[in-house]
Amino acid sequence: MITNFFKIAWRNLVKNKAFSFLNIAGLTIGMASATLILLWIQNEWSYDRFHANKDSIYEAWNRGIADGELQCWNATPSVLGPALKQEFPDIAQMARTNSGWFVTAVGEKKMSSQYLMIDPEFLSIFSFPFLEGNSKTALSDGQSIIITEKMAKKMFGEEHAMNKIIQIDHNNFTVTGILKDLPPNTRFQFEYLLPWSYMKKIGWEDENWGDNYVNTFVQLKTTANADLVNNKIKNITIRHSDGKERQEIFLHPLAKWHLNSRFQNGIAVGGEIENVRLFTVIAAFILLIACINFMNLSTARSEKRAKEVGIRKVAGAYRGLLIVQFLGESLMIATIAGIFAIFLVQLSMPAFDLLVGKQLFLPFGKIYFWACILLFILLTGVLAGSYPAFFLSSFQPISVLKGSFKKAHALVTPRKILVVVQFTFAIVLIIGTIVVTQQMRHARMRDVGYERNKLVYHYLTGDINLLCIGNMHCKQ
């Protein structure tokens, strides 16, 4: 029976080439557009979710009065991390980070590179995979450095980088580890890691509870309750500063770092999650427009399919069998469109990456990717073919064979409603695109009071950076 269904569906597909082309082209463009948006959404959702301890990792934030308003910020005092771990047993590990740029040199080759100074437990809390070296011992020496694979190629070319010397601001560091290049969906941006002891060596670390210049991360024990821990630690700054500093401390979970890090009056009110929701709706609209287009084209051919339905019903075919037949045809078209959509997505990926400022990719080697593709095609095929299947299978044999199966011209019909909905969605998307484009152009081109092309920004590096040692206001 399945073979017969396939043969009938394929025969109808080949017999009506123009109709098949229009349906496949419409679904291909709709599925490809929705897939690109869904890839961006998946990238946003997956930020830092690859860490093994993701469910127990938190970042310490401040909540206090700034500029007359209750605000939140994630820069914290250097002394906060050690105090949290020492005073609260629920905290299993702690790590502080400080980022910026140094001039790195190998022989005569010099370049400005982005560093991240870290506590030793940083590599235990976060799961950045090593190509070479041991995460537990790589930064045990104050003159050690861990570099990324990209940094190794920049500094040493094709030479083996392990145990080589890199000079940073007149200090020699030995390469004791090489990390895989950072994934695009992480908040951390660095080319090499330096031990926290270097902060002390250059005089950047202090014990002032009012100096907020580092990021503090903690990993809670599996038995800990984050809400209870927040209640315990909120007054730690006030207590240690004898009331001179009035801000509270709270823990922000890793799952919310990228999507939910916008605060108003000390409360998380959203962030990037709003864009994710918006583009989810847009992807659904685009796919729905493609499916409605399929429905309208299919029902427009009702006269040609009516006699087929009538004869098959006279021959003994049940309505349920016809519904399965028509759904099978739509699934076949959706499958072909899905294959073309994958090729179209792959071809348009470089331009789309440039547009959104991301490095997206199709994970062909992952089983879950193919499962999602099959589910996506199944959903599209059923959604697009549902109305035509029920509509075409509802024809009565007597009416069809008499040539009077059509109903009287009605003011409102399902097909007219679908056409109106399709054009409404399309018009809304077009207007929205024009408005957003105009707003972005205005933001880029508006007069900001200076000539942007003649303004240069540069991090403190090299000898200039050394002049700022001991002066906390000079640091990046």
Task: Give the model confidence (pLDDT) of 132-177 as tens digits.
Answer: 998 888 998 889 999 999 999 999 988 899 999 999 878 899 999 9
Work out whether the CA dihedral 317, 323, 324, 325 comes out positive or negative. positive
Tell me if 234 is assigned to some domain: yes
Cβ-contact 78, 94 below 8 angstroms = no
The pLDDT, as a whole number, for residue 359 is 84
The pLDDT, as a whole number, for residue 191 is 95
Q: Is the pTM of this model over 0.75?
A: yes
Tell me if 166 is assigned to some domain: yes
CA 182, CA 180: separation in Å to the nearest integer? Answer: 6
CA 175, CA 232: separation in Å to the nearest integer? Answer: 40
Find tokens 């009110």 and name the residue. Answer: 269
Q: Are residues 222 and 322 in the same domain?
A: no
Tell me if 467 is assigned to some domain: no
The pLDDT, as a whole number, for residue 475 is 43
Q: Which segments within 323-448 are labelled E, that is strand?
A: none
Cβ-contact 397, 310 below 8 angstroms = yes
DSSP string, 219-283: EE-TT--HHHHHHHHTTHHHHHTTTS---EEEEEEGGGTTTS-EEETTEEEESTHHHHHHHHHHH
Q: Are residues 294 and 427 in the same domain?
A: yes
Low-confidence ranges of the chain (pLDDT < 50): 408, 466, 469-476
Work out whether the CA dihedral 350, 354, 358, 359 comes out positive or negative. positive
CA 188, CA 379: separation in Å to the nearest integer? Answer: 36
**Nearest in space to 476 (alpha carbons), one of 462, 455, 461:** 461
Q: Are residues 67 and 164 in the same domain?
A: yes
Task: Give the tens place of pLDDT for each residue, 443-470.
Answer: 777 777 777 777 776 666 555 554 554 4
Q: Are residues 426 and 328 in the same domain?
A: yes
Q: In one letter, which amino acid is 152?
A: A
Q: Are residues 147 and 171 in the same domain?
A: yes
Cβ-contact 233, 81 below 8 angstroms = no
What is the number of domains present in the chain? Answer: 2
Tell me if 313 is assigned to some domain: yes
Work out whether the CA dihedral 444, 450, 455, 458 comes out positive or negative. negative
Q: Are residues 109 and 205 in the same domain?
A: yes
Q: Are residues 171 and 62 in the same domain?
A: yes
Tell me if 269 is assigned to some domain: no
Cβ-contact 240, 87 below 8 angstroms = no
Q: In one letter, which amino acid is 233?
A: I
Tell me if 466 is assigned to some domain: no
Q: Are residues 130 and 238 in the same domain?
A: yes
Q: Are residues 88 and 212 in the same domain?
A: yes
CA 247, CA 238: separation in Å to the nearest integer? Answer: 7
**Domain span holding position 314:** 2-47+274-445
CA 348, CA 355: separation in Å to the nearest integer? Answer: 11
Cβ-contact 296, 422 below 8 angstroms = yes
The pLDDT, as a whole number, for residue 368 is 85
- Helices within 175-233 (DSSP H only): 197-201, 226-233
How buried is 231 (Cβ within 10 angstroms: 0-12 exposed, 13-18 middle, 19+ buried)?
exposed
The pLDDT, as a whole number, for residue 308 is 65
Q: Are residues 303 and 183 in the same domain?
A: no
Tell me if 79 is assigned to some domain: yes
CA 332, CA 202: separation in Å to the nearest integer? Answer: 67
Q: Are residues 430 and 370 in the same domain?
A: yes
CA 422, CA 184: separation in Å to the nearest integer? Answer: 36
Q: Are residues 348 and 437 in the same domain?
A: yes
Tell me if 263 is assigned to some domain: no
Domain endpoint, select from 257, 291, 320 = 257
